Amino acid sequence: MRAAVQTPRGERCPYAKKCGGCQMQNLRYEDQLRWKQAQVQRQIGRFCRVQPILGMENPLHYRCKVQAAFAPVHGRTVSGIYQSSSHILVPVEHCMIEDEGAQRIVADVRRLMPKFRVTPFDEDARRGVLRHVLVRRGWATGQYLAAIVSFTPVFPSKRRFAEALVRLHPELTTVVLNVNRQRTSMVLGSEEHVLYGPGFIEDELCGLRFRISASSFYQVNPPQAERLYRAAIGMAQLTGKESVLDAYCGVGTIGLAASSQAGRVAGVELNPAAARDASGNARRNNVRNARFFAGDAGEFLRDAAAGGEPFDVVLMDPPRAGASREFLEAVCATGPRRVVYISCNPETQARDLRFLTSHGYRAERAQPVDMFPFTHHIENIVSLSRA
């Protein structure tokens, strides 16, 4: 890697060394994009042409989901980020990739704590109250959600605390109290109480409205997610008649965005809560040609084909580990005309492309999209057609 250079606006993160969240902190944005392009070229270039990566015009403060950990340090309350792969809390006031409005809300939670006698949670002594604050912003709607994560359900004057916070931040349309008593690095626990507003915010993506609660699965960089989905749907070359599978569908965003250009859409997702959210999203957006199912993508595709309902197009967006062998075999056995493979790990994507291209598919082109500036994460789409 090249020498340390400042970011486009000439800023440099003062926490970079301690925090470790942004691995590409030392590169100018255009050099980050060049590096990502080269990675995709190296992994995927032997299968097809790689188009220039779609970067962000302004790569700062893009994270619409912000999590801050709280702890007592020498009698004071500190909030910040746990150093990657350690348990050291780095106090962070201004993060370059997090939404600025969300960071102001976190700072005001911290300032309100003494007034309400809310103590930070001490992990070693397992004493104290406030563990984390999670803030989400609806990118298009400007609505904000704050989740106060507490070690105990007994949170001093919780409603008045929420009211005081909303008075400082009228953009907060909902505040929830989440209780997490577990010994875990997970931020959220399973118990939730709504303190203010409806308990969720809404956002708009690809002309559709999505409901987002504290625990919802939702892309953290919505404008780039929209570009990713539009590129993927474009590569699917839909004419309005096709039967489309949205495999590994999360809360159904891609399938719903594709539904107006397809005959019918089925989505499959392992996490039952996300699959339920996907059905709710379909209903609330009056999408009538999409159905969502909870289950394993490979089994679902195999069963659908055995039941005489094969798909013309498969859109797939598996986790970092890539698709299962069973899923890839089911694709090849059922023979969709086109496959559009969205991946957050070009290495496993290359492995899966090796399988698909040696079992009857031809890779046509690749389109990388930068979803996570300043980090080393790479997102890439590849379109394939039946050879």
Dihedral pair phi/psi, residue 286, rounded to 5°:
55, 35
Q: 48 catalytic, yes or no? A: no
Rounded to 10°, the helix 346-357/325-334 angle is: 40
Q: How far apart are CA 301 and CA 279, in angstroms?
A: 19
Q: In terms of CB distance, is 43 or 219 closer to ligand SAH? A: 219
β-pairing, 65-73 vs 379-386, is unpaired
- Asked if 147 and 178 touch (Cβ cutoff 8 Å), the reply is yes
Smallest gap, in angstroms, from Cβ of residue 300 to ligand SAH? Answer: 7
Largest CA distance in the chain: 68
- Asked if 340 and 317 touch (Cβ cutoff 8 Å), the reply is no
Dihedral pair phi/psi, residue 115, rounded to 5°:
-60, -35
CA dihedral 281, 283, 287, 292 (to 10 degrees): 70
Smallest gap, in angstroms, from Cβ of residue 163 to ligand SAH? Answer: 34
Cβ neighbourhood burial of 89 (10 Å; 0-12, 13-18, 19+): buried
Chain residue whose CB lies nearest ligand SAH: 250
Smallest gap, in angstroms, from Cβ of residue 344 to ligand SAH? Answer: 8
Q: In terms of CB distance, is 80 or 138 closer to ligand SAH? A: 138
List 19, 48, 95, 344, catalytic entry: 344
**Tokens describing residue 155:** 């949170």
Rounded to 10°, the helix 325-334/297-306 angle is: 20
Smallest gap, in angstroms, from Cβ of residue 224 to ligand SAH? Answer: 11
Q: Which residues contact 349 (CB under 8 A, 6 or more apart)?
A: 43, 44, 322, 341, 343, 380, 382
User: Among candidates 200, 335, 275, which has minimal Cα distance to 255?
Assistant: 275
Q: How far apart are CA 317 and CA 252, in angstroms?
A: 11
Smallest gap, in angstroms, from Cβ of residue 248 to ligand SAH? Answer: 3
Cross-strand pairs, 76: 73
Rounded to 10°, the helix 100-112/158-168 angle is: 140
Q: How far apart are CA 343 and CA 329, in angstroms?
A: 18
β-pairing, 361-369 vs 264-269, is unpaired
Smallest gap, in angstroms, from Cβ of residue 267 to ligand SAH? Answer: 9
Q: In terms of CB distance, is 142 or 319 closer to ligand SAH? A: 319
Cross-strand pairs, 245: 266, 314
Smallest gap, in angstroms, from Cβ of residue 252 to ligand SAH? Answer: 8
Q: In terms of CB distance, is 82 or 293 closer to ligand SAH? A: 293
Residues forming the site for ligand SAH (CB under 6 A) = 217, 219, 248-250, 253-254, 268-271, 274, 296-297, 317-319
Q: In terms of CB distance, is 179 or 238 closer to ligand SAH? A: 238
Residues tagged active-site = 344
